[in-house]
Structure 1
Amino acid sequence: MFSSIYALWFLFAGIALIMLGNGLQGTLLGVRAGLEGFMTVETGLIMSAYYLGFLLGSVATSRIVKKVGHIRTFAALASVASAMVLMHSVFTNPSAWFVIRIGTGFCFAGLAVVTESWLNYYSTNKMRGWLFSIYMVVQLSGLAAGQFLLNLSDPGGYSLFILISILVSLAVVPILLTSTPGPVIAEFTKVGIKKLYEISPLGLVGTFGVGIAHGSFLGMGAVYAQMAGFAQDQVAAFMATLIFGGVVLQLPIGRLSDHLDRRTVLTGVSFLATVSALVCLAVGETSITALFIFTFLFGGLSLSLYSLCVSHTNDYLQPDQMVMASGSLTLVVGVGACLGPLTVSAAMRWLGPGGFFIYLALIHGAIAGFAVYRVFMRKAVPLEDQNPFIPLTSRVTPVAAVVVPETIEAEETQSKP
């Protein structure tokens, strides 16, 4: 395992730097939008634009890689992303930021496509599950750690934008220093939404709901904290706590789902996330310590749901269907993430900062309710027929999804006598 990790050090180093910059950028823009006097709904549109760009980049980057290769694609997209970060501080109006965020999302998706295809190609079937677990931890840890960089300077100035640009630019260095040749990107084929719903209604509906939820709190969490009157360091700590919960809780929840009816686990996790959001709403104005404790719990529960939905869907698929279905689910979660910031911003404008957690409670409650409904509509998959849980974040691209199901099939084949 350690030799595989060492061989791919350049990928993990690049990913860590990218996610540090990405984590800081999302929170910085939410805070800066408030300082610039943007309306809450305008900020929601800006945050939705990132996920729209990410969705487009997830699909389009493979064609660019085929023409110019992995390293050139990575370097070009990182350079453009670095420049776009600086453009936020030059053009401080909602329309410009909307366009810039689409471009930023496209670039970050392209960077993810390159790193995930490299990770897939050079990891063995035996080690791929571990490597994806490490990838998930590096992603979320970098995203969480990036929040604390907000405390290094005044968000109303230029310094933090320059810092993000530096981090994104430095991410190219490990990639350029490697002598490992770039892999061939595997194609993914989508399953029609109607067909996917027929196969796994809970998997599809749950994935869409998860996309809305994750887009909402990752995109607008900093705006909520600012509206609630948090100091700058508290905004950073709030967002970091939310994300770090996913680092800690995703694997234990996933392992639990391997030993129980996955629908039961999905229902329980969604219900507990709903309760956690409501507790956050109740204690938000009275105890910041209690708020952070339940924010950690909420983040860990919610960020585990995407992997649960994908794993649940795979339980009802034949091995040759998994690749196509996983590619479709990444696009479904992307569409949900595009809608999340816009819709939660409307709730916050109508209900105030409390609308943030009310909205998140409603989304997770709806997922839990639909999961309960599906329990009574279909027999559970026998535990021995369930596929192993694979930790993923809702920010993976279809390229990552291509190989994950193949890994399950390969590992099952190898385990047979």
Structure 2
Amino acid sequence: MTAPAQTPATTISAAWSLWALLLGVGLLMLGNGLQGSLLGVRAAEEAFGNTVTGLVMSAYFVGFLAGSTLTPRKLRQVGHIRVFAALASITSVAILVHVLFIDPWVWAAMRLVTGFAYAGLYVVTESWLNGHAGNHLRGRLLAFYMVISYLGMGGGQLLLNVADPSGVVLFLIVSILMSLALVPILLSYTPQPDISQPEAMSLRRLYRLAPLGTLGCLLTGIANGSVFGMGAVFATGSGLAVDQVAAFMGAFILGGALLQWPLGKLSDKTDRRVVIVAVAALATVLSLVGLLLGRGDALPLTLLGVLLGGTTLTLYSLLLACANDALTPSQTLAASSSLVLALGIGAILGPLTTGLLMDAIGPDGFLWDLALIHAAIVVFGGYCLVRRPATDVEEHGHYVAVPAGTAPLGATWVEEAASEPTQLEFELSEPPTEAPPNGSAG
């Protein structure tokens, strides 16, 4: 199954030719946004405890790592449509098991399965998008996909108000959304690209080439895992009602969507590391300010969610661009999966560390966790600014906004497929030393 010979000429034509895929993604993200908050609220109602809830939520990211690793092989064997349909079906079943068995061990197993399936769905979607558009459209098409992803996740938070989380209706709605996501894909013709698996780059070597991008992805993974795994638990523990919890989580995602492009464009025009340090510093301050807010007061917490989302959820894209600035094109392809691995490892740790802190000091543990993580980014970013030379603005890679909850692996596989380099070509294309090209600052 190969991509069509003629690629679309405009972003609109590219998006229209993939309307079935994008509609399916929108439905999947609606379900994903709803189930994340739903499980956090329901776990609090069932008195799982913050540490146990953190472990349950972390299982999602363990599955996520496995799914992002194993899906490419299955894609080559059976193609995009079959893999998409199978994984979406798995998510539809997994959410129903949650309501059949109210047990943290069962929930952890199902979260692992759900993480595995969603990682695969992101891989399928992003490789599909990248393979369908030429270089002149790829960034804009991915941005269009980003908007759909954020709108879906934000809309899913609002669906928490449709029914009582203590019942079964919301679980059924998630399952219905997952199942409906299959319909447009299976009943329409959507051209599929060819892909091949990229060659890997170890995290150790990637850290030597792009230290801030690599360690920053690990740290921001912890923050993102905390937000999506324990944000609803924090809001519930702060005395917010169900509709207010939904508004708080939706505000987080809205803030991330609003500030992605402005911060990305700013980082294209100056030393990207300065923008990263400034954003992380602002997130640290906002987290500490949140400690001063009264619990049970929805409006200040929701406003805090917008501002924190605009800083926390935008760092991942900035760090990806920062890492790419320090790499050659062939290294960029090989490094993508390692950066996602760093993000995934951090995301596994996020709910666990937050849960432990919340058990120790209460809901404020959520904000302390975010403050400490972003403070660490500030400190290490400042160290890189002092010790490593800056990249010329003219040598910056092109910034592409990426949803914090997804794995940007697609570009790696599709661009690899276009050139199909051998292992020898990879080795010959790399610089003889581990120094970043052009004196860049990683």
Give the shorter-chain TM-score range.
over 0.9
Match of 1:27 in 2: 37
Equivalent in the alignment of 2:62: 52
Q: Distance in 1 between matches of 2:233 and 2:408?
A: 30
What are the equivalent positions in structure 2 for 1:358-377 lying under 5 Å apart? 358-377=368-387
Distance 1:52 1:370 in 2: 26
* Counterpart position of 1:350: 360
Post-superposition shift, 1:400? 2.2
Is contact 2:239-2:296 (8 Å) kept?
Answer: no
Q: Tell me if the contact between 1:311 and 1:387 (Cα under 8 Å) persists in the aligned partners.
A: yes
Q: Could you tell me whether the CA contact under 8 Å between 1:330 and 1:396 is conserved in 2?
A: no
Displacement after TM superposition at 1:139 (Å): 1.0
2:397 corresponds, among 383, 387, 395, to 387
Residue in structure 2 matching 1:121, options 123, 128, 131: 131
Match for residue 312 of structure 1?
A: 322
Q: Could you tell me which of 134, 155, 173 is aligned with 2:183?
A: 173
Tell me the equivalent position of 1:199: 209
Contact 2:157-2:246 at 8 Å conserved across structures: yes
Moved more, 152-161 or 283-292: 283-292
Q: How big is the shift at 1:388?
A: 1.6
**Identity across the alignment (%):** 49
Q: CA deviation at 1:189?
A: 2.3
Mark the CA change 1:277 to 1:6 in structure 2 (over 3 Å): closer, same or farther: same
Q: TM-score normalised to the size of structure 1?
A: 0.95
Asked if 1:224 is matched to 2:237, the reply is: no
Separation of aligned partners in 2, 1:269 and 1:229: 29
Q: Is the 8 A contact 1:44 1:342 kept in 2?
A: yes
Unaligned segments of structure 2, at least 5 residues: 1-10, 420-442
1:180 CA displacement: 2.5
Distance in 2 separating the partners of 1:384 and 1:398: 24
Normalising by structure 2, what TM-score? 0.89
Q: 1:220-279 CA deviation, whole Å, 9 max, x = no partner?
A: 000001111110100000000011111110111000000010010010000001111111
The structure richer in helix per residue is 1
> Which among 77, 81, 86 is matched to residue 76 of structure 1?
86
Q: Is the aligned partner of 1:186 residue 2:196?
A: yes
Cα distance, 1:123 vs. partner?
Answer: 1.1
Q: Does 1:275 align with 2:285?
A: yes
The answer to whether 1:43 aligns with 2:36 is: no
Measure the CA separation in 1 of the matches of 2:28 and 2:238.
29
Q: Which residue, 156, 160, 180 being the options, matches 2:170?
A: 160
Instruction: Tell me how far apart the structure 2 counterparts of residues 14 and 349 of structure 1 sit (CA, whole Å).
Output: 38
Shift of 1:405: 8.1
When structure 1 is superposed on structure 2, of 231-240 and 74-83 the one drifting more is: 74-83
Q: Give the aligned partner of residue 303 of structure 1.
A: 313
Looking at structure 2, the residues matched to 296 and 209 of structure 1 have their Cα atoms a distance apart, in angstroms, of 20
Superposition deviation, residue 290 in structure 1: 2.5
* Letter paired with 2:153: L
Amino acid at match of 2:51: V
CA contact (8 A) 2:18 2:190 kept: no
* 3-state DSSP of counterpart to 2:255: helix
Structure 1 404/274 Cα, relative in aligned 2: closer, same or farther at 3 Å?
farther
Partner residue, 2:121: 111
Deviations, residues 27-73 of structure 1 (Å, cap 9, x unaligned) = 00001111111111110011000111111111111122222222121
Cα shift readout 1:176-220 (whole Å, capped 9, x = no counterpart): 122123222231222111111111111111110000000001110
Contact 2:127 2:414 in 1 (8 A): no
Structure 1 unpaired stretches of 5+: 410-417
State the 1:169 CA deviation. 0.2
**CA RMSD after TM alignment:** 1.6
Corresponding letter in the other structure for 1:220: M
